[in-house]
Amino acid sequence: MEGKENPGVGEEQQYKFKSAVEVQLARFLERNNIAYLYEYPLAVIDRGKLRVWYADFRLPDYGLVLEYFGVNGNSEYDERTRHKIEVYKQAGVEGLFLTKESFKGDWPGRILGQIEGILKNRIDEFYNRRCRSRRG
Domain containing residue 34: CATH number: 3.40.960.10
Alpha-carbon distance values, 21 to 1, 24, 38, 65 (Å): 25, 5, 13, 15
pLDDT of the residue at 12: 39
Q: Is residue 62 part of a domain?
A: yes
Q: Is residue 124 part of a domain?
A: no
pTM, rounded to two decimals: 0.79
Q: Is residue 133 part of a domain?
A: no
Residue pLDDT, tens place only, 4-24: 555 443 343 566 899 999 999
Q: Is residue 109 part of a domain?
A: no
Give the pLDDT band (50/70/90) at residue 135. confident
Q: Is residue 19 part of a domain?
A: yes
State the DSSP string of the chain. Answer: ---EEPPPTTPPP-S--SSHHHHHHHHHHHHTT---EEEEEEEEEETTEEEEEEEEEEETTTTEEEEE----S-HHHHHHHHHHHHHHHHTT-EEEEE-GGGGSSSHHHHHHHHHHHHHHHHHHHHHHHHHHHHH-
Residue pLDDT, tens place only, 30-72: 999 999 999 999 999 999 999 999 999 999 999 999 999 988 7
Q: Is residue 136 part of a domain?
A: no
pLDDT of the residue at 130: 77
Q: Is residue 89 part of a domain?
A: yes
Which structural domain, as residue segments, surrounds residue 38? 4-104
On average, the pLDDT of the chain sits at 87
Q: Is residue 127 part of a domain?
A: no
How many domains does one find in the chain? 1
